[in-house]
Amino acid sequence: MRYIQATVVVMLLLIALPGHTQSIRGNVVDAVSRQPIESALVINADDPTSRTSTNANGDFVLPSGKRIQVSFVGYKPALIETDPRSRMLISLTPDVIDLKDVVLQSNAVSRFSSLSKIDLDIRPVKNTQELLRLVPGLFIAQHAGGGKAEQIFLRGFDVDHGTDVQVSVDGMPVNMVSHAHGQGYADAHFIIPETVNNIDFGAGPYYTRQGNLNTAGYVSFSTYKNIARSLVQVEGGRFNSFRTLAMIDLLKKNKDRQSAYIAADFNYTDGPTISKQVFRRLNLFGKYNLQISGKTNLSATLSSFSSSWDASGQVPERAVADGTIDRFGSIDPSEGGNTARYNANLQLNTRFHNGSSWENQAYYSRYLFTLYSNFTFYLNDPVNGDEIEQGESRNIFGYQSKFSQQHFIGKSTLYSTYGAGIRYDATNDSRLSNVVNRKFISDIKRGDIREANAFAFMGQQLNTGNWIIDAGLRLDYFHFRYADKLSTVQLPAQRKAILSPKLNIQYSVNPYLQFFVKAGKGFHSNDTRVVIENSGREILPAAYGTDLGMILKPTKNLYLSLAAWHLHLDQEFVYVGDAGVIEPSGKSKRQGIDLVARYQFSKKFFANANFNFTRPRAIGEPKGNDYIPLAPAFTSVGGIYYKAVQGFNGGISYRYIQDRPANEDNSIVAKGYFLLDASVNYTRPRYEIGLALENMFNTKWNEAQFATESRLYNEANPVTELHFTPGTPIYARVKLAVFF
């Protein structure tokens, strides 16, 4: 309640401030690709205290100024004579990356997304997993060689596949609510990594635009509006792995008015397991942009994704120890599955003469999913085994609208944002079934889900002097309905609303030191089936978070961010896959420290590292029995990279996760690991050749790990112990790319 009262008071004070709309307006783009540049710094050259930055569309509004200086990391700065009579189009020329260009500014628009842009530039990614690993503090594990969504870890959460991290691409949600395999399931493999222009991210529940599942944090990918050149690429590596990629620029002329490109990506691998994975994935992507008028822009995106695979599944430690199977063997080799997703995304952005803007977005997804798993082997059925099928077909419809406005009060700026929208999920034949060798035996659960989420939000950000005061309020309303195909008795639908206030304050001492405090309320929804079966109890448990931190640049080439944080969750959810239920496991709290460091030794030599310390504990449990299974206590990722425009490029990166409890009393431990990867590329204007080496020291490690009760075929009694999927051994990959 205190969150709500404080936030409402601040918002009312900010809204009451008077303002005027005299302004300099413009748009900043890349001079080569014509791609809009987000977070470019725009300063009144005659009054440096008057400054702003560009939004996601490259637009900016400044109160006044005869000359402005425009700059962004990786581009040559430009000094421009202004023309208040018309909207300016400013082109920045690409240049070498220089960390000294990163300025800690008092600006409400900038979210310091330039950091992720630097990481993308110096460490090109090869798959969607690598995209997620660029998010500071986020750690992942893969269950099935790229067939399933990754298991995500962030801020002391085992997020499963997305229960507490909201993921989106170009404003379209990736997470699946009430999913057949787990709440919030976020399979981002339909994203072709080379199409990603920027990654916006945030830890904690402090962001007004982010709603359901934003408790530990959010990740928002944005794809290129335009591409600078076409590309054809082939890759090949160990385990009979290969990948082909093509990105074709369709309209090379007059890109400021319209642009279009398509991309296609095909992957195949047999994987390191004894039973071949026969993994196939095909991605198609197309994007078209049209400037309908001087004020209105249209962006249309179509994409498709399909994959199929076999999997060896998780293996019990005892079966490997006694020689029953190899580490890369399997108990049930018939695991695997197939999935597909087809997306249409339409965005219409309109700018008004006074600098305000109106963004509208409509999207549709068609989704298909089938997964075969066996977690417990012969625990429940000692004859046929415990193999299960999880599956669904789904349609997602969504619409959202946002109106943004700026008011200038002297040298202060008030940014106002108002938004609303709805998401509707219609899941047909969502099922959990007993199977043998993928052949149907009997149903455990089967039915149709209808889940609607309507929302509205308002945010007020005051940028005055060295201060930013950002207050927001969000309202979410849910309607849950489930048609149970295995019962003649249908339970009534359930409804619930939740109000989420946010308050963020930032103070910049100077361009090299900044302090911030964040406070907010977020939530994650429960699975519709569980909501209906429990008459609406534990529908939308809340999360309450606070951050206190600082950002500093002690030298021009060193960037540091330090945050101490606390998060309280009203209810943890644990998904029990073989029973098809989501079990509440009580309240929890997490406290931690996050440290982000970036250093540039020279024009071409960079280093980065993230360190994340967390103490996750269940509330109300006896000491020593209050561990949260699989919640990481310490993770770190980083590397050293050499980046040149042409010639040789490369780097060495590491990732480390400490041993962590696999059960509540820490009697079973999920083993930590330290891995090193390396890559080297030789780049010319027309081509690039490269070599990548993963797990270069051939470390023996476990990727996904769980404490599971299981029984093998020849065992009389079940055993609870660690089950794991083996991490990939040393793996080499070569590539050839041609640009045109």
pLDDT band (50, 70, 90) for residue 1:
low
Task: Identify the pLDDT of residue 109.
Answer: 44
pLDDT band (50, 70, 90) for residue 254:
confident
Task: Identify the pLDDT of residue 108.
Answer: 41
Q: What are phi and psi of 9, to 5 degrees?
A: -60, -45
The tally of CA atoms less than 13 A away on the side-chain side of residue 332 is: 26
The DSSP code sequence of 213-268 is: T-SSEEEEEEE-SS-SS-EEEEEEETTTEEEEEEEEES--S-TTTEEEEEEEEEEE
> Is residue 348's pLDDT more than 70?
yes
Q: Which helix (H) or strand (E) holds 396?
A: strand 388-409
pLDDT band (50, 70, 90) for residue 21:
very low
pLDDT band (50, 70, 90) for residue 39:
confident
> Is residue 583's pLDDT more than 90?
no
pLDDT band (50, 70, 90) for residue 83:
confident
Q: What is the mean pLDDT of residues 680-702?
A: 95
The DSSP code sequence of 2-37 is: HHHHHHHHHHHHHHT---B---EEEEEEETTT--B-
Nearest 5°: the CA angle 610, 615, 621 is 160
pLDDT tens for each residue of 627-685: 999 999 999 999 999 998 899 999 999 999 999 999 999 999 999 999 999 999 999 99
Task: Identify the pLDDT of residue 434.
Answer: 96
Task: Identify the pLDDT of residue 210.
Answer: 95
> Is residue 687's pLDDT more than 90?
yes
> Is residue 539's pLDDT more than 70?
yes
Q: How many whole angstroms separate alpha carbon 740 and alpha carbon 388? A: 48
pTM: 0.92
> Is residue 107's pLDDT more than 60?
no
pLDDT band (50, 70, 90) for residue 110:
very low
Q: How many whole angstroms separate alpha carbon 507 and alpha carbon 469? A: 9
How many Cβ atoms from other residues are within 10 Å of residue 294's Cβ? 9
The tally of CA atoms less than 13 A away on the side-chain side of residue 560 is: 12
* β-bridge partners, 644: none
How do the residues of the chain divide into helix, strand and coil, expressed in percent and rounded to 5? 5, 55, 35
> Is residue 522's pLDDT more than 50?
yes
pLDDT above 70: percentage of residues in the chain: 93
Q: Mean pLDDT across the chain, nearest whole number?
A: 90
- Taking alpha carbons only, the member of 552, 497, 493, 547 closest to residue 520 is 547
Task: Identify the pLDDT of residue 576.
Answer: 66
Cα distances (Å, whole numbers) of residue 449 to 133, 179, 393, 429, 613: 33, 10, 10, 8, 39
pLDDT band (50, 70, 90) for residue 3:
low
pLDDT tens for each residue of 179-220: 999 999 999 999 999 999 989 999 999 999 999 999 999 999
pLDDT above 90: percentage of residues in the chain: 73
> Is residue 112's pLDDT more than 70?
no
Q: How many whole angstroms separate alpha carbon 719 and alpha carbon 488? A: 38
